[in-house]
């Protein structure tokens, strides 16, 4: 795994069957928009909010993971999950169950790759 963007794409693939097949496309769009030179404003539907949450969660997970590696701290998936849930500010329109599912999907994807 190269970075948070790669983690976001992999997590979207893992979650697409449960949260909607269009999730992977929306994550790619969200990542492209994040790299765009000028921000765009959209009327955001739930799936776009979830895609953005996947990207945000993956980037935050990657930062926490890298920080733990630099300090040589043990990296346990459950501890990473808890740290993400404490720091993550999810959009209000996304139900808590889906937020937790996104967090668990990102952590599981990172766990499969590097933990």
Average pLDDT over residues 60-70: 91
CA separation, residue 88 to residues 16, 72, 92, 96 (Å):
21, 23, 12, 12
* Domain span holding position 88: 4-113
- In whole angstroms, give the CA distance from residue 54 to residue 75: 20
| Number of domains, the chain | 1
Which pLDDT value is given to residue 108? 94
Average pLDDT over residues 48-60: 93
Which pLDDT value is given to residue 93? 87
């Amino acid at each position: 795994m190269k970075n948070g963007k790669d983690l976001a794409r992999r997590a979207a693939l893992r979650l697409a069957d449960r949260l909607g097949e269009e999730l992977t496309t929306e994550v790619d769009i969200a990542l492209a928009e994040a790299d765009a030179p000028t921000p765009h404003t959209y009327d955001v539907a739930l799936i776009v909010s979830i895609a953005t949450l996947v990207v945000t969660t993956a980037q935050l997970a990657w930062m926490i993971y890298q920080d733990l590696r630099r300090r040589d701290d043990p990296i346990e998936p459950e501890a990473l999950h808890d740290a993400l849930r404490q720091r993550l500010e999810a959009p209000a329109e996304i139900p808590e169950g889906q937020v937790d599912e996104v967090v668990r999907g990102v952590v599981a994807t990172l766990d499969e790759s590097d933990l």
